[in-house]
Amino acid sequence: MSKTAAIIGGGVIGGGWAARFLLNGWNVSVYDPDPQAQRKIAEVLSNARRSLPGLTDVALPLEGTLTFCDTIAQAVAGAVWIQESVPERLDIKHATLAQIQAACDADAFIGSSTSGFKPTELQRGALRPEQIMVAHPFNPVYLLPLVEVVATNMVIDRVASAKAILSSLGMYPLHLKKEIDAHVADRLLEAVWREALWLVKDGIATTEEIDDAIRYGFGIRWAQMGLFETYRVAGGEAGMKHFMAQFGPALKWPWTKLMDVPDFNDALVDLIAGQSDAQSGMHAIRDLERIRDNNLVSMLRALKAQDWGAGALINAQEAAMRAGTVHGAVAADLDPAQLVETAHRTVPLDWTDYNGHMTESRYLQAFADATDRFMTIIGCDAAYIKTGGSYFTAETHIRHIDEVHAGALITIRTRVVLGEGKKMHLFHEMHEGDRLLATGEHFLLHVSLETRKPTAPVPQIEAALMRIAAGHAQLPLPAGIGRAIGAPR
């Protein structure tokens, strides 16, 4: 399948879609009549390039090609996926979708980023109604995984194929079986928004105090467990029934305004805008976007470490990418005359320190991950470790040769200096392109996890290790092997 996507409308959402596809290896064609579209998308891409690749611990595919087109017909020609992200007016969307269908392939997927319209409304008068669906994302599209899929009139096999494409981009397609105005997530957000407007209007809380209530409290819980699971936990050992019995009566109390909306007049707009300016007006919009992205990457990577929620999605995407690379190799696949590539990844945002480059502990983590990968290659994988054997690191020496910054695409190649019996001596070299960044020298001993004492590995692991060591012994030694701290280079 040709990986070509067309983005019609290059605003905040369209630019985010372009980044999500492009950085996952798709070629992207964009149509937007705005003369500032190229600049705006370039700025969104700049933020995406510094944040999205750092979510995974293997490198994303090679970035696709971005093309700006003069017409919708040019943009959609040959596209597998077409994402409409024009303004939220039904007449504009109908006109745009008509132009798309007049020129696109009949089997292309057409997704609309609409936050409110139902598929049947979008499909009204369409050439092929069954081709059009709602694919509603959340900003920033290149980081947040949720996309609401509403595909009225589309056959189930086509829906499954559409969801598979979105999943391959690291997204979570939430398939809604019935259409409704504003879908699901925005309806929930709208309820919170309505109540927040009243709280500001009535002088109960400022915009900043409402944001603090969310980000310091339930927002963190919602980020990893949602609403119902959070309340189930709140019910204690008795679970959800106890929670509902305890707090159900509160639903009859006048706690919220719900559909009673304050007049959206100039006074209310000025009040909220003024408080918002006082809250965050000291930051330019691009600075706020980068602050947001830094926080999201850190939270998503924390969830990734727990293999939970949105983090589990990243792990699944990473496993699929790893399976298609040299990182899926085993010892028998390797040329023993070549160094072993044990890492190929992007440095994430949360790996940098106050000096603006990779912090010391992350060099050790990168090399430790490379060691773990090499152990897997020779057969010392999770299954083997469960049988009671593993390697423990006895000594480490890291040389910091050049700076490494967030967003750098680093590759680690590993040399076996010694591999026999219970001993394994590795020398890692970290590069960005041709530039040597650091080396890590590690001496490990195979141990019994039962006795915690050194012992020989099983014959298959020792044979794999010795085969690679013999091949690497024929290679010239690089500078730095065996070097003590402070010794001349």
Asked if residue 309 belongs to a known ligand binding site, the reply is no
Tell me the percentage of the chain whose pLDDT exceeds 70.
97
Q: Domains in the chain, start-ordered, CATH in brackets?
A: 4-175 (3.40.50.720), 185-282 (1.10.1040.10), 325-472 (3.10.129.10)
Q: 3-state SS of the chain? A: CCCEEEEECCCHHHHHHHHHHHCCCCEEEEECCCCCHHHHHHHHHHHHHHHHHHHCCCCCCCCCCEEECCCHHHHHCCCCEEEECCCCCHHHHHHHHHHHHHHCCCCCEEEECCCCCCHHHHHCCCCCHHHEEEEEECCCCCCCCEEEEECCCCCHHHHHHHHHHHHHCCCEEEECCCCCCCCCHHHHHHHHHHHHHHHHHCCCCCHHHHHHHHHHHHHHHHHHHCCHHHHHHHCHHHCHHHHHHHHHHHHHCCCCCCCCCCCCCHHHHHHHHHHHHHHHCCCCHHHHHHHHHHHHHHHHHHHHHCCCCHHHHHHHHHHHHHHCCHHHCCHHHCCCCCCEEEEEEECCHHHECCCCCECHHHHHHHHHHHHHHHHHHCCCCHHHHHCCEEEEEEEEEEEECCCCCCCCEEEEEEEEEEEECCEEEEEEEEEECCEEEEEEEEEEEEEECCCCCECCCCHHHHHHHHHHHHHHCCCCCCCCCCCCCCCCC
Lowest mean pLDDT among 190-204, 210-224, 273-287, 321-335: 321-335
Q: How confident is the model at residue 325 (pLDDT cuts 50, 70, 90)?
A: low
Per-residue pLDDT tens digits for 185-242:
999 999 999 999 999 999 999 999 999 999 988 998 888 889 888 888 888 888 888 7
Write b or e for each residue in 29-52: b if 16 or more Cβ atoms lie within 10 A of its Cβ, otherwise e. Answer: bbbbeeeebeebbeebbebbbbbb
Asked if residue 482 belongs to a known ligand binding site, the reply is no
Q: Cα torsion at 133, 139, 142, 144 (round to 10°)? A: -90
10 Å CB burial of residue 366 (0-12, 13-18, 19+) is buried
Per-residue pLDDT, averaged over 160-180, amounts to 96
Judged against a pLDDT cut of 90, whether residue 77 lies above it is answered with yes
Average pLDDT, the chain: 92
Asked if residue 15 belongs to a known ligand binding site, the reply is no
Question: From CA 281, how far away is CA 261, in angstroms rounded?
Answer: 27
Distances, alpha carbon 390 to alpha carbons 10, 22, 379, in Å: 52, 40, 10
What's the confidence (pLDDT) of residue 235? 84
Q: How confident is the model at residue 459 (pLDDT cuts 50, 70, 90)?
A: very high
Angle formed at CA 126 by CA 123 and CA 130, multiple of 5 degrees: 60
What's the confidence (pLDDT) of residue 198? 93
Lowest mean pLDDT among 78-92, 342-356, 363-377: 342-356
What's the confidence (pLDDT) of residue 233? 85
Cβ neighbors of 187 (< 8 A, separation 6 or more) are 180, 181
Judged against a pLDDT cut of 50, whether residue 409 lies above it is answered with yes
Q: What is the pTM of this model?
A: 0.85
Ranked by mean pLDDT, the top range of 3-7, 239-243, 260-264 is: 3-7
What's the confidence (pLDDT) of residue 408? 93
Per-residue pLDDT, averaged over 279-288, amounts to 87
Tell me the percentage of the chain whose pLDDT exceeds 90.
74
Judged against a pLDDT cut of 80, whether residue 135 lies above it is answered with yes
Asked if residue 7 belongs to a known ligand binding site, the reply is no
Write b or e for each residue in 176-210: b if 16 or more Cβ atoms lie within 10 A of its Cβ, otherwise e. Answer: beeeeebbeebeeeeeeebbbbbbbbeeebbbeeb
Q: How confident is the model at residue 335 (pLDDT cuts 50, 70, 90)?
A: confident
Q: How confident is the model at residue 323 (pLDDT cuts 50, 70, 90)?
A: confident
Tokens of 440: 């890590």
Per-residue pLDDT tens digits for 6-46:
999 999 999 999 999 999 999 999 999 999 999 999 999 99
What's the confidence (pLDDT) of residue 121? 98
Judged against a pLDDT cut of 70, whether residue 326 lies above it is answered with no
Q: Tell me the Ramachandran region of residue 169: left when phi exceeds 0, alpha when psi lies from -120 to 50, beta otherwise.
A: alpha
The β-bridge relationship of strands 389-400 and 435-448 is antiparallel
Asked if residue 11 belongs to a known ligand binding site, the reply is yes
Q: How confident is the model at residue 264 (pLDDT cuts 50, 70, 90)?
A: confident
Asked if residue 297 belongs to a known ligand binding site, the reply is no
